[in-house]
């Protein structure tokens, strides 16, 4: 029997394929990662099917790579060593919405689009990263630690508990979902080791079959302010001071390129016009009024914003470049990107490649300098670099992201941009940028410089997946 027919016995004939076209589709994504074809693509429809496929693969030492999103930007779903690609995008049931205890239970294929549509009816939201692709799995995003727009510590760590299929096919329930007894199963910590261990693993420690995520009440009222800056050096202090007072809900900084890409809905001309008119950097600060006396909360927060701004000589405005963007922008930020529009990251060119890392706010300008320097050496136009700074937890640290666009159909452009991308990433890392979720080329770079951590990870990996069947070749495994 062939691999595909064996797998078909588990998932059904319609859900297993070795059609070259299907394999090719699953061999690549939007990243620079080298395409690699799997031997077989299988779509699971239940936890039991995942377990059966994993057991089968483990017995035969066949690699398994999981895909939950129908889109990928970082290469994590490319099967480095072939084998089976287990497509979970069809497992897309919202198993439970529980407003009372502020959680939702979902399968891995549930997209942000689908989830938020269900939550809108309850007046709630899932905490979103910056305008995720409509086909992005909400669960994958949470596992991959995509930074959320809300800078409050209580909103972080959105993944509560999950059911994870281990390499031998056993189902491990994490946190208080670990077994019988308690009914909600949402407290993140259960037995040793803690559930945090499984985040950022890119499917190398287990395959998550379902999860409970935090959800939040939507505010009843919002007021969006913009602070404009010509220089990135000037953004840290206002952020430190405003966030130290625990002001604001969605808080982020975008440069003109990214903000124009998000807002331009009238084609290339609109994008160019916006990019020219927008400030170099815009701090977006949403003051949100919760369920009770929303105006009064916004009012006292507003006073603090103006007090800080006065002290620093900057001017909050409810418009940016004369445009009244607040209501439109905040509505956009609380949804995934619309399904009927071109994705904002791909509006300028067909490809977008991001360097993402953590640093402290005061160090952001030095990294901007590094990116500018490398870009200049490679002849990449500085105005085409996307910059996004996401303060986390009242600004104790930030997620910093620089992006480069390229035309994926043009081999020269791909080659040039890839060279720039790799050098820029290495330069950022060397200067102390922290790649917490090291995708693709960053894995070797990071793990070759973290010897103690890497040795410990390998010990853990061996315990969880002694035959190294789960996404082999990723991270340091």
Closest contact distance (angstroms) between CB of 357 and other proteins is 10
366 binds other proteins (CB under 8 A): no
Residue 346 vs 460, nearer CB to other proteins: 460
Site residues (CB under 8 A) for other proteins, limited to 101-120: 101-103
Short-list 365, 366, 361, 368, CA closest to 241 = 361
468 binds other proteins (CB under 8 A): no
Residue 405 vs 437, nearer CB to other proteins: 437
Query: Which run of H or E residues covers position 423?
Result: helix 411-430
Neighbours of 390 (CB within 10 A): 24
Distance CA 445, CA 407 (A): 26
- Encoded one letter per residue, x for contact with other proteins by CB under 8 A and - for no contact, window 144-163 reads -x-------xx-xx--x---
296 binds other proteins (CB under 8 A): yes
Residue 197 vs 280, nearer CB to other proteins: 197
Find out whether 472 and 199 touch, Cβ atoms under 8 Å.
Answer: no
447 binds other proteins (CB under 8 A): yes
Site residues (CB under 8 A) for other proteins, limited to 239-258: 240, 244-247
Region binding other proteins by CB under 8 A among candidate stretches 106-114, 272-280, 420-428, 457-465: 457-465
197 binds other proteins (CB under 8 A): yes
Distance CA 477, CA 259 (A): 38
Closest contact distance (angstroms) between CB of 25 and other proteins is 27
273 binds other proteins (CB under 8 A): no
Query: Token pair for residue 218?
Result: 């939507």
Site residues (CB under 8 A) for other proteins, limited to 64-103: 100-103
Closest contact distance (angstroms) between CB of 232 and other proteins is 17
326 binds other proteins (CB under 8 A): no
195 binds other proteins (CB under 8 A): yes
Closest contact distance (angstroms) between CB of 399 and other proteins is 10
Residue 263 burial by Cβ neighbours in a 10 Å radius (0-12, 13-18, 19+): buried
Distance CA 202, CA 337 (A): 23
370 binds other proteins (CB under 8 A): no
The single residue listed with the structure tokens 């002290």 is: 311
Distance CA 332, CA 134 (A): 12
444 binds other proteins (CB under 8 A): no
Phi, psi values for residue 16, rounded to 5°: -135, 135
**Residue from 290, 365, 441, 473 that binds other proteins (CB under 8 A)?**
290
HSE, CB side, 13 Å, CA atoms: give it for residue 123. 8
The single residue listed with the structure tokens 């084609």 is: 267
**Pairing relation of β-strands 64-67 and 84-87?**
parallel
Closest contact distance (angstroms) between CB of 450 and other proteins is 4
59: CB partners within 8 A, 6+ apart: none
């Amino acid at each position: 029997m062939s691999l595909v027919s064996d797998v078909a016995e588990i998932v059904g004939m319609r859900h297993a394929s070795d059609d070259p076209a299907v394999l090719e589709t699953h061999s690549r994504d939007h990243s620079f990662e080298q395409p690699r074809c799997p031997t077989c693509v299988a779509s699971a429809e239940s936890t039991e099917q995942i377990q059966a496929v994993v057991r089968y693969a483990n017995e035969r030492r066949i690699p398994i790579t999981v895909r939950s999103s129908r889109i990928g930007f970082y290469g994590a779903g490319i099967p480095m060593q072939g084998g089976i690609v287990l497509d979970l995008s069809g497992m897309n049931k919202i198993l439970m919405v529980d407003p009372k205890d502020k959680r939702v239970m979902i399968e891995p294929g549930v997209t942000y689009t689908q989830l938020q549509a269900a939550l809108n009816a309850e007046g709630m939201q899932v905490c979103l990263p910056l305008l995720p692709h409509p086909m992005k799995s909400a669960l994958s995003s949470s596992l991959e630690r995509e930074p959320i727009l809300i800078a409050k510590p209580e909103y972080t760590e959105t993944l509560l508990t999950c059911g994870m299929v281990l390499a031998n096919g056993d189902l491990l329930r994490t946190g208080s979902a670990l077994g019988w007894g308690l009914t909600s199963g949402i407290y993140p910590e259960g037995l040793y080791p803690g559930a945090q261990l499984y985040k950022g693993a890119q499917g190398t420690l287990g395959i998550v079959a379902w999860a409970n995520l935090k959800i939040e009440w939507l505010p009843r009222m919002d007021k969006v302010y913009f602070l404009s800056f010509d220089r990135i050096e000037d953004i840290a202090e206002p952020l430190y001071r405003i966030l130290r007072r625990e002001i604001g809900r969605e808080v982020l900084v975008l440069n003109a390129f990214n903000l124009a890409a998000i807002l331009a809905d009238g084609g290339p001309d609109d994008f160019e016009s916006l990019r020219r008119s927008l400030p170099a950097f815009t701090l977006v600060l949403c003051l949100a009024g919760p369920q009770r006396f929303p105006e009064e909360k916004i009012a006292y927060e507003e006073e603090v914003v103006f007090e800080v701004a006065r002290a620093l000589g900057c001017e909050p405005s409810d418009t940016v470049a004369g445009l009244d963007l607040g209501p439109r922008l905040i509505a956009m930020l609380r949804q995934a990107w619309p399904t009927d529009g071109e994705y904002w990251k791909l509006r300028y060119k067909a490809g977008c490649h991001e360097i993402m890392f953590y640093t402290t706010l005061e160090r952001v300008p030095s990294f901007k300098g590094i990116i500018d320097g490398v870009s200049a050496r490679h002849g990449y136009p500085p105005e085409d670099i996307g910059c996004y700074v996401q303060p986390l937890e009242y600004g104790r640290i930030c997620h910093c992201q620089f992006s480069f666009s390229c035309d994926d159909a043009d081999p020269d452009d791909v080659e040039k941009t890839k060279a720039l991308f790799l050098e820029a990433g290495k330069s950022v890392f060397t200067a102390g940028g922290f790649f917490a979720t090291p995708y693709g080329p960053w894995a070797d770079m990071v793990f070759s410089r973290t010897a103690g951590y890497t040795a410990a990870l390998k010990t853990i990996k061996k315990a969880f997946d002694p035959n190294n069947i789960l996404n082999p070749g990723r991270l340091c495994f």
